[in-house]
Amino acid sequence: MAKLTRHEARKRRHLRMRKKIVGTPEKPRLSVYRSLNHMYAQIVDDTVGKTLVAASSIEPELRNRLSSTKDKEAAKEVGLLIAKRALAKGITKVVYDRGGNIYHGRIAALADGAREGGLEF
């Protein structure tokens, strides 16, 4: 059996997690994607397949304020921004979907920022 690459292993973990994690209207899913240069987060209601709120480090609102878009500080700011936008839409509880990534570094920093901003998960 051939050894999986890091990306194939992450995709496999993500699919395994998505069997269990489902966003509902009462408790939507906070989905996180980490690229080499940016962090993306969106809150999704899986029953209708609709994104309710989104935030990323690409947005000019954050990009101009941050020294780098690829560190833990930027991830925490994305978490705070998504929490602010979610609370404005009346969303307080979410299910955290780390996208198959290990809960460490930028993934954990985004979660900490979202919790600090007022989201519960």
Q: Where are the domains of the chain?
A: 23-117
Say what the pTM is.
Answer: 0.90
- 3-state SS, residue 25: coil
SS (H, E, C) 49-103: CEEEEEEECCCHHHHCCCCCCCCHHHHHHHHHHHHHHHHHCCCCECEEECCCCCC
Each residue's pLDDT tens digit in the chain (121 positions)? 678 899 999 999 999 999 999 999 999 999 999 999 999 999 999 999 999 999 999 999 899 999 999 999 999 999 999 999 999 999 999 999 999 999 999 999 999 999 999 999 8
CATH for the stretch 23-117? 3.30.420.100
